[in-house]
Amino acid sequence: MKEIDIKELKRYCNPSYLTIRRDKIIVNSRRLAGISRAKKEKIERRFKIPVIYSESYELISQKMGRYISKYRIISPGDVLIVGLSGGKDSLALLHLLESYRRRFGVKIYAVTVDVNVGGIRPWHPGSESVKKISEHCEALSIPHRVISFQEDVVKMSKLLSDNSTGIVYSPCFSCSIVRRYLLTNFAMELVEKGIEKNSIKICLGHTLEDNSDTVLANIFKGDIIRVLEPIKNFEEITFDFKEFKLTLPPCTIVRPLLSVSEKDILKALEECGIQYYRDKEVCPYSRDRGDSIRRRCHEILEDLERDVKNIREMVVSSVLKSIEYYRNRDI
């Protein structure tokens, strides 16, 4: 299908509050887009594609929008590199960000990292799932790249653990290092092509569940209580895996979905007919598999959530308030 003529679409509504695919249009905000039932029907007749309104999609769009505004996560003219696994969270993030091309004039690139997890390659370029991810990007008219890394992240974590003083590193740790390494290297490629370095931000699809699970997992491990931040600048760092070293360039990582629940994301994608890659069912070390502390924390909070609906928000809020309290005491 051809790309939609935005100038023509402006005759009917405000495209800055729509997610525009070649095969469908999804309403981010019915009020701000100026979409009535009559206009919806006119657009469908004119462009011969469905216009979809989902209360759940509007909800996650509004939550993300408020979060972006509160923490100034995205600025006009930014270049956004979306780490796209094709799972529900990163795919929802990509769709929600699409409208920011018109709202903020941002450029978006989607990058899928092909990692080796103990011989399993969940994001191998030749797989049907990755082909589906590419089809989503094509429908959104967003450039997509798959970048492969051959070293085994399970072995990498074992090397780190064997050469540390009592610290056991999970494969997830090395996987996150590899992802950041490849995403930041892609960012450096863009800089070499003339894109301003300070305008580049790496966008990750971490959600409210990821953040609250992280807080509780740190407590159960007896570790420093950490919280995922909406925007964070990282300095250059080198990781020594003995057999080789990885140097990660400095970068800015943003997480626009931290206020959004996975349950709402799942419902929104289903209502909009967007098929996502169930990558957590493939990766042997995902939260949904095995018997890790993170999985236990997720189950504990999920159980508490049945009685205390906003328990996850409260967990994250407690840490943020504590950080602010002790920061003010040190002044």
Binding residue ranges for ATP: 83-85, 89, 113, 205, 210
Residues 60 and 265 sit within 8 Å (Cβ to Cβ): yes
φ and ψ at residue 131, rounded to 5 degrees = -60, -40
Q: Nearest CA to 101 among 112, 109, 89, 91?
A: 109
Residues 261 and 209 sit within 8 Å (Cβ to Cβ): yes
Other beta carbons within 10 Å of 171: 20
- Return the DSSP state at 40: H
Residues 211 and 228 sit within 8 Å (Cβ to Cβ): yes
The tokens describing 166, both together, are 């009592």
Residues 202 and 254 sit within 8 Å (Cβ to Cβ): yes
Sign of torsion, CA 201 250 211 287? Answer: positive
Q: Which residues pair with 247 in a beta bridge?
A: 238
Residue ranges of the annotated binding site are 83-85, 89, 113, 205, 210
C-alpha span between 116 and 113 (Å, rounded): 10
Residue indicated by tokens 């990766």: 283
**What are the strands of the beta sheet with 79-83, ordered from one edge?**
144-152, 107-116, 79-83, 200-203, 251-254, 231-234
Residues 26 and 19 sit within 8 Å (Cβ to Cβ): yes
Vertex 299 angle, CA 276 and 160, to 5°: 80
